[in-house]
Amino acid sequence: MSAAADMAPAPLSGAQWSATLADEIGKAVLGQRPIIERLQIALLTGGHVLLEGMPGLAKTLLVKSLAQALGVRFERIQFTPDLLPSDVVGTMVYSPGDGKFSPHLGPIFANLVLADEINRSPAKVQSALLEAMQERQVTIGGATHALPKPFLVMATQNPVEQEGTYPLPEAQLDRFLFKLMLDYPAVDEEIEMMRRWGQVTSQPEVQAVASGAQLLELRKQVDRVHVADAIQAYIVALVRATRAIAARKEDSSREPRTLAFGASPRASLGLLQASKALAWLRGSDFVAPAFVQDIFLDVMRHRVGLTYEAEAIGMTTDQVLAEVLRQTAVPEPDAGAR
């Protein structure tokens, strides 16, 4: 073996990469480690994320800090009622000098795009994201422009403000890998936040500790995580169980139907890819049932719809999905091993 081969660095492990990135983001955002892990999974799978939480929970700061720690180009789009699709994807601009039109690329041409308060813009603007999110390309003036790699959209929305907002349609929601719910910080975290950043001049600084090129290479390691046939069947059974609930006919001898519609096949793919990334981050070379269960709610909560009856009695999608997990047969704990 050559000396160069002997000196080659060992491949970066999932735990090392995750901890390095999370520690750097932690300079600006206290707590939220489970959310940061989910964002890392989205990066590793190329999936988009919908962040929902009350105002002031640092949703925007979290995404911006993630982009800074990753060392990629970041763009923020503030969605407002008067926003136009061309404000997102770009438009053709006339040049008086040569009498020609040339494309002016919009803020969507970045590695990490924050769609802030996405539900404040009407459907025509929201739909401008569809081609970009799914196809990783944008059409301007009849010409197709590829988006940079990696490319992810992370959108935020406020769950309490309904006036003047436009709920995302199911077709748009299904293109997000995760819907993540941000909660208030713990008491000690909020006190530490005031201690660190109570002064106007003491603002956090996040440095780049990774790169987009490194991320693309790490995705190859995630692809090598083994998924046994039993685990694949388990994932499909979970997703199809939501469709069975939605298709069930009303019967006086049964409980009321809780789901109006179940999850699409895109949910199966998302659950598979997210489970592989989670396994890799936690140092496993195969997907165990526990990884699927851990990620299930975040992948599924925005892909199913409650019936009016379920909403009337105060049920939530998380409650229905938790029952799906409980009733679906689980493979043996070591079923995912090679």
Burial bucket for residue 186 (CB in 10 Å: 0-12, 13-18, 19+): exposed
Predicted model pTM:
0.88
Q: How far apart are CA 275 and CA 292, in angstroms?
A: 5
Q: How far apart are CA 154 and CA 23, in angstroms?
A: 20
Tokens 């009350």 correspond to what residue?
A: 54
**Mean per-residue pLDDT for 192-220?**
83
Domains identified in the chain and CATH numbers: 10-199 (3.40.50.300), 224-327 (1.10.8.80)
Contact 267, 285 (CB under 8 A): no
- Residue 113: both structure tokens together: 């795009």
**Mean per-residue pLDDT for 251-261?**
72
pLDDT band with cut points at 50, 70 and 90 for residue 3:
very low
Q: Which helix (H) or strand (E) holds 317?
A: helix 317-327
Question: Is pLDDT above 60 for 6?
Answer: no
Amino acid at 52: E
Q: What percent of the chain has pLDDT over 70?
A: 91
Q: How far apart are CA 274 and CA 40, in angstroms?
A: 10
Quick: pLDDT tens for 56-113. Answer: 777 888 888 999 999 999 999 999 888 888 888 888 787 787 777 788 888 999 999 9
Could you give the angle at the alpha carbon of 12 between the alpha carbons of 9 and 13, nearest 5°?
Answer: 140
Contacts within 8 Å (CB) and 24+ apart, 166-173: 166/119, 166/120, 166/121, 166/122, 166/123, 166/126, 167/119, 168/50, 168/118, 168/119, 168/126, 169/123, 169/126, 170/261, 170/305, 171/130, 172/126, 172/127, 172/129, 172/130, 173/50, 173/302, 173/303
> Residue 320's closest CA among 312, 328, 310, 330?
310
Q: How far apart are CA 251 and CA 150, in angstroms?
A: 49
Quick: pLDDT tens for 104-161. Answer: 888 999 999 999 888 888 888 888 887 788 888 888 878 888 999 999 999 988 777 6
